[in-house]
Structure 1
C-alpha cells in the first residue's frame, strides 16, 4: 500500500484529496412515479446540476484540494483487472442490478431473461470510462435492441417500462457508500435496496485498485443486519470516532467496526462515541443536523431540543455486545467531553432564527457544510441566514449555488468523501 492512501483523523484538517461524483445520466432516468422508490425528493434538472457540481469542485481545486472522480477511479480499477476479473466485476453488477419495481413479478421475469444481453452490451462499450458511466446511469431496453415492456395492457394500472437496469441517482452523495476512517475505510451495507448497489464500486476499488487494494477495511459486509452509511461517520479528534445511530446505521455495525479497529495496530482511535439521531423529517444521518467546523465549533439544527442518548465504546478494552456504555446528556456536553473543551454552538438560521427559518434551512441541509480547513467551509448559498451566522462567528464560507443539487437532500459534506487530510495541530 502506498503511504497515506487513506489518512483521515479529523473532520477539519486541511483537505488534501477528496472523492466526488459529477452527476450523470442516472438523474435523467428518475420519473415522478418512482421518486420515493429511488430516494429522490424531486426531479433534478441534470445540466444545471452539473454546472452547480462543477462550481463546487472548482472551489475545492482553487483551494488546493486534489479532486478524484469516482468514475475515473472505478475505470482505473477496471483497467487493472485480468480478463476473468473484468467479467466477474460485470457479472456482479448484472446480478445485483435492479430490474424495475420488485412488486412487478412479470417484469422481473422478462427482464431477468435479458441479463446476458445487458452483460454483452455494457462490456462492448469503449472506452472504459464511458462504460462505467453507463453502469452508474442505468440501461434502457432500447439500448439492447428491445422494446419497452407494457404490463397490464388496456387496464387502469397499465405500466410501461423503458429501463432494463435502474439508475443509481444518489451516487453524487459519495459520503455514504464508504467512509475514510483513520488509515482505513468502512465499506457499507446501505439500508435501502436502491442504494445498496452503489457500494459495488467501492468494494472493487478497495479490493483491486493498485493504490487502494491494501487499505484496511474495518467493516466490509454489504448485506445482512449490520447497516451503516457514511453520513453517520464523524472523526472529531484523532482519538475519537463518532457515529450516529440512525434509521440507516445500527449498533451492530458500530460494534463490528469497533472490533476491527481494535485489531488494527496502526489505527490510532481509542474510543467510539455513538450518538442517537432522533427520527425527524429528513434527518436520516447525523450530518443532516450536526457538523464540526473548527476545533471547538459546531453547527446544529435547533429542531434537536431534548437530551440525547450516547454510547461510549472503549477501544482499549475487549469488545463485546455489552461494551457500549449508555448515558443521556445535552448535545453541547457530549461534544465538550469528546473534544476536551467547552464548545461553541451555532444553530441553523442563527440565534435569532424563527422556527420557519430552522425548518427550511434544515430541510436544505444547512448543517451539511464541508470543512476544508479549520474554520473554512463549503456549502450552498441558499442557506443565507445560517451562512450569515457562520460568518459572524468568524467562519470563512465558500458558497456555491445548489438549487438543483439540494433537491437530492444533501450538501457539500454529503457530496464528498475525504481521502487525505492534514493532521490538526
Structure 2
C-alpha cells in the first residue's frame, strides 16, 4: 500500500464526512448465547441471530449507499493469519490463558496451530467448546482423549475452552482513531478483553496499518472507544465511569499531547451503571455544534478540562458544566442540544436505554439511528438533521447502537 493511502487514514471529528469504517458482521458467536450465559457475556437477552445479521446488513448497506468504504474485522483478521508471525502471536496469546492450565494450554496451542486461517479466525471470534475441541492427535494418525489436563476433565462438553466474543460487533470500543494514529484500547470487562488481542493483531500486522502510529495498547489502564468523542479537531471528550478509568484518561491525554494532535481533553464522569456504560450512550455529535443528549444529563454532566502542563505534566481545571466546557473548547458560543425523547422522564429513559443517543454521523447534519427511537428521531429531523434509520431490535440486545457498531478510520 502506498504512503498516500496510509496517510488517508485520519479522524479529527465526529461529524466530518465518513469515508471508511470497520464493522463486524455478527455470526456464530451470537449463537453461543443462552439464558445461562448471556449476562456474563454482557447481553441483555438471547438475540435472533438471522434477524441480527439482516439488521447489520441493512446498516452496512446504508453506509455503502452513502459512499462509505466498509471493511470487516473477520476478513482483516483472516488476511493477517496468513502471516506466520501474526498467527503465532495470536495463538500464543489465546493458549496462554491462565485459566486453561499448562497442559490444556499446550494442547490448545497445537490444535489452533493446525487450523487454516479462515477456520482459525472463526474459532477466535466464535469460541470453542470442549466437545468441539474433542480429542488430541498423536503422531498425526491416532487420537486419544485429552486426559492429561484436570481442567479439561472437569469441564462439561458445552463449556468453553475459548469463550465466544458476541460483543465483537461493537468495533468502536477496541480501537479509536485520534488524528492519524490509532489507540488499541484496554477493555475493562473480562468477557471482552480478547477483542483487543485480535484488533491489535490487525493493526500490527495487516499491510493497511503497519505504518500507522500506535498510541495506546491493551496493557495500559482501562480505556474504551465508546467513551472517546472527537468533539472537534484538537478536542476530545472522554467519559470516566464503568469502563474507562481516570488513570486511562490521564495516560491518553499525555500521549495525544505529546503528538500535538490534541490541545484539550475533557474528562466527563458518567454514572457507573449498565444504561450509561459509555459516554456515547449519553450523547453524540450530529453536527459541528449540535449534540443529541439524554435530557436529564444536560444539567448534570460535568467536565474537567485537561491541557498540557509544564515538563510533560497536566493542567486540570474544573469541574464545570460539560456543555459549557465543550462549547468553549470547540470555540463556539454554545452547543445546540437535541434531547433524547421528549422532556418527560419516561420517554427519555426508554429511548436512552434503546440507544437513542448513540447515533453515527455520516456528515455534518446527517446521522444513522435506530428506527425504534421514534420520538428522538422526529426531534432530530425537526432540528434539520437528516436521519437514516435502521432496524435494531436484535442488535440492541447487546446495548449498542450505530456508533458502537462502527470504527471510523477515515473522515474528511
TM-score relative to the length of structure 1: 0.86
Deviations 1:209-265 (A, max 9, x none): 222122122222x235x111000111111121221112211221122222222332x
Deviations 1:111-144 (A, max 9, x none): x633344333333333x23321221000122222
* Residue equivalent to 2:212: 215
* Residue equivalent to 1:300: 293
- CA displacement at 1:159 relative to structure 2: 6.8
Are 1:173 and 2:191 matched, yes or no? no
* Residue equivalent to 1:273: 266
Task: Map 1:95-114 onto structure 2 (within 5 A).
Answer: 95-96=96-97, 113-114=103-104
Q: 1:307–1:329: 8 Å Cα contact kept in structure 2?
A: no
Residues paired across the two proteins, number: 393
Are 1:11 and 2:3 matched, yes or no? no
- CA displacement at 1:312 relative to structure 2: 1.8
Q: 1:148–1:160: 8 Å Cα contact kept in structure 2?
A: no
Distance, in Å, in 2 between the alignment partners of 1:173 and 1:84 is 27
Worse overlay, 361-370 or 35-44: 35-44
Task: Map 1:136-151 onto structure 2 (within 5 A).
Answer: 136-145=125-134
Identify if the C-alpha distance between structure 1 residues 85 and 329 changes in structure 2 by more than 3 Å, giving closer, same or farther: closer
* Residue equivalent to 2:47: 44
Worse overlay, 53-62 or 28-37: 28-37
4+ residue runs over 4 A deviation: 146-149
Distance, in Å, in 2 between the alignment partners of 1:332 and 1:312 is 12
Distance, in Å, in 2 between the alignment partners of 1:343 and 1:201 is 37
* Residue equivalent to 2:230: 235
Distance, in Å, in 1 between the alignment partners of 2:286 and 2:119 is 37
Q: Which among 182, 186, 193 is matched to residue 183 of structure 2?
A: 186
* Residue equivalent to 2:306: 313
Identify if the C-alpha distance between structure 1 residues 181 and 84 changes in structure 2 by more than 3 Å, giving closer, same or farther: closer
Q: 1:148–1:161: 8 Å Cα contact kept in structure 2?
A: no
* Residue equivalent to 1:325: 316
Q: 1:122–1:135: 8 Å Cα contact kept in structure 2?
A: no
Q: Which among 381, 392, 395 is matched to residue 391 of structure 1?
A: 381
Q: 1:19–1:68: 8 Å Cα contact kept in structure 2?
A: yes
* Residue equivalent to 1:75: 78
Deviations 1:44-69 (A, max 9, x none): 11111000000000000000000000
Distance, in Å, in 1 between the alignment partners of 2:310 and 2:44 is 43
Task: Map 1:358-373 onto structure 2 (within 5 A).
Answer: 358-373=348-363
* Residue equivalent to 1:246: 241
- CA displacement at 1:201 relative to structure 2: 1.4
Distance, in Å, in 2 between the alignment partners of 1:272 and 1:55 is 35
Identify if the C-alpha distance between structure 1 residues 234 and 64 changes in structure 2 by more than 3 Å, giving closer, same or farther: same
Considering only aligned residues, what root-mean-square deviation do their CA atoms show, in Å? Answer: 2.3
* Residue equivalent to 1:260: 255
Worse overlay, 275-284 or 52-61: 275-284
- SS state of the match for residue 274, structure 1? strand
- CA displacement at 1:148 relative to structure 2: 12
- SS state of the match for residue 227, structure 1? coil
Q: 1:270–1:316: 8 Å Cα contact kept in structure 2?
A: no
Identify if the C-alpha distance between structure 1 residues 49 and 310 changes in structure 2 by more than 3 Å, giving closer, same or farther: same
Are 1:377 and 2:349 matched, yes or no? no
Identify if the C-alpha distance between structure 1 residues 199 and 174 changes in structure 2 by more than 3 Å, giving closer, same or farther: same
Distance, in Å, in 1 between the alignment partners of 2:18 and 2:309 is 29
Identify if the C-alpha distance between structure 1 residues 306 and 196 changes in structure 2 by more than 3 Å, giving closer, same or farther: same
* Residue equivalent to 2:330: 339
- Structure 1 unaligned spans of 5+: 100-107, 152-157
- SS state of the match for residue 269, structure 1? coil
Identify if the C-alpha distance between structure 1 residues 206 and 27 changes in structure 2 by more than 3 Å, giving closer, same or farther: same
* Residue equivalent to 2:140: none
- CA displacement at 1:16 relative to structure 2: 0.4
Q: 1:117–1:144: 8 Å Cα contact kept in structure 2?
A: no
Identify if the C-alpha distance between structure 1 residues 307 and 354 changes in structure 2 by more than 3 Å, giving closer, same or farther: closer
Q: Which among 100, 119, 126 is matched to residue 130 of structure 1?
A: 119
Are 1:200 and 2:189 matched, yes or no? no
- CA displacement at 1:84 relative to structure 2: 4.9
Worse overlay, 311-320 or 272-281: 311-320
Identify if the C-alpha distance between structure 1 residues 119 and 271 changes in structure 2 by more than 3 Å, giving closer, same or farther: same
Q: 2:341–2:348: 8 Å Cα contact kept in structure 1?
A: yes
- CA displacement at 1:349 relative to structure 2: 0.6
- Structure 2 unaligned spans of 5+: 136-144
Q: 2:308–2:315: 8 Å Cα contact kept in structure 1?
A: no
Q: 2:130–2:156: 8 Å Cα contact kept in structure 1?
A: no
